[in-house]
Homo-oligomer: A and B are copies of this chain.
Amino acid sequence: MSSPAEERIVPEARVPRWDAHADVVVVGLGCAGASTAIEAARAGAETLVLERASGGGGTTGSSGGVLYCGGGTSVQKACGFDDSPDEMFAYLRASTGPAPDLEKLRIYCERSVEHFEWLRSLAIPFKASYWPHNFEPWTDDCLWYSGSEEAHPYRELARPAPRGHTVQAEGSCAGGPVLMHALEQALRTAGAEVATDVRVLSLVRAGDGGIVGVVGRHAGRDLHLRARRGVVLATGGFVANRGLVARHAPQALALEPLGGAGDDGSGIELGRAAGAECLNLSAMAYTCPVLVPFELIRGILVNRHGQRFVNEDVNHKRIGEELVLRQEGRMFLVVDAESFARPSFPGIELVASGESPGELEAELGLPPLSLAKTLELYNAHAAQGRDPLFGKRAAFLRPLASPPYGTFDCSVGSGAPVCVFTLGVLWTAPGGDVRRPDGAAIPGLFAAGRSTSCLSAQSCGSSGLQIGEGTFFGRLAGQAAARERA
């Protein structure tokens, strides 16, 4: 779907005529592009949003509409949860990879309450209610623990608070469309224009290296669109570009892509053709909601050696990351009669059962005695209400000692729900300026959303970060792009 490399940059001198002008041209109408456009238009910039599809929405439009916000939002307070920007910062710092961008992280946390109120001011509905589970609400409730805040080691590093804020809508995965509808309404009210069915093929570059416009294709015609102040790439990730995934993150090829067809990396390709540095192209976010309902957390997850490897009460994204990156894609859930429950997500099959660990080992092809020793150790500790290996919370600890035992296969390729999206991005400054390898900004070029670096750097362990950072840093990019050029 993307254009050949040699066409991605068009020198300004070769533009035959400008078909239209705007101060700010935004490429892509997901949550990041919409937020960018709202703020650019409100700052007084003539703003044009180009969307490849026939309507806005992007990947956000088919999501549940969860935003990771905190520091003491009105909903957190109404539900009786105490939070602060510092606690939020400490949690995110610990859970987003070995080297998150601390400057962006700090801004995001300090302004999260304000950002949440900004969203509410756009008439985006949030119910002042708490959802007491570690998975996206299937009701119209709002606030939940969408990360591993309550789990080891995070609970020792930051005071836990739920920060997943779900847009109010009836039913599962219904908040995203409501969110996008409100954002699109707001951008039109602010005076931004939207052109759909326009695929951006190229950036137009001036003699000084700055970006001054784009070439878009609409109904078979090339349109040359001048951007007086800036172009903002808000085109999403690249999980739908199988070639790029194969080249940079082959471990993800076997997994279900999480994202729309528009997530083909077109903006990332445009940015790097303009000289941008890319970061984390090999990094992926994994989702793996196998421990739903939550009774299943009382079971244990073991690898192909029969060993535990994670506290089962962490967020399912962290479990997915462990599974794919550290356990060769092989994982079994072992339960006893008391912890047995039927998994909520389809595809997770009961593959073994028996009166003793030995029977399971034989059925599963695990090394003899391996599961037995794992259970002896787990049970000895669980009887004391503790898990000194991985730190699972006492609430989920109970010896697994009530036969029959059962085992669900949660391995990659077993049918279990293991999905993936990309974390590889264009490098940007906090304000959204796209950076070259030496750190210098490319004049006139900005990025927002999943096509650029926000908080989930090498790792994404919490739900709601993508829309949270997409809308927040989209706003900053809109404000930056709307400024007159130096």
Contacts and interface: CB of A to CB of B under 8 A. Distances in A.
Interface of A: 4-6, 97-99, 209, 246-248, 250-251, 269, 272-273, 275, 277-283, 305-308, 325-326, 367-370, 373-374, 376-377, 380-381, 388-390, 427, 436-438, 440, 458
Nearest to A243: B439
A181 to B, nearest CB: 36
A373 B377 contact: yes
Contacts of A250: 97-99, 458
A308 B306 CA distance: 11
Question: Max chain B CB contacts within 10 Å: which of A97, A368, A374, A389?
Answer: A389
A364 to B, nearest CB: 13
Given A326-B326, A390-B305, A5 B367 contact: no
Contact of A437 (B269, B275, B277, B380): B269
Nearest to A269: B437
B279 A247 contact: yes
A75 B342 CA distance: 61
Contacts of A4: 438, 440
Given A250-B99, A438-B5, A389 B377 contact: no
Nearest to A384: B368
> How many copies of this chain does one complex carry?
2
A30 to B, nearest CB: 23
Contacts of A390: 305
A43 to B, nearest CB: 29
B370 A373 contact: no
A316 to B, nearest CB: 20
A390 B307 CA distance: 12
Contacts of A438: 4-6
A373 B98 CA distance: 32
A4 B209 CA distance: 15
Contact of A373 (B246, B272, B277, B373): B373
Contacts of A99: 246, 250
Contacts of A368: 381, 388
Nearest to A438: B5
Contact of A5 (B278, B307, B389, B440): B440
A196 to B, nearest CB: 27
B370 A377 contact: yes
A380 B250 CA distance: 38
A367 B380 CA distance: 11
A151 to B, nearest CB: 16
7 contacts: A5-B436, A248-B279, A272-B437, A282-B282, A325-B326, A367-B388, A369-B381
A325 B326 CA distance: 8
Which 6 pairs show the lowest CB-CB distances between chains A and B?
Answer: A99-B250, A367-B388, A5-B438, A98-B250, A326-B326, A305-B389
B440 A6 contact: yes
Contacts of A280: 248, 282
Contacts of A283: 282
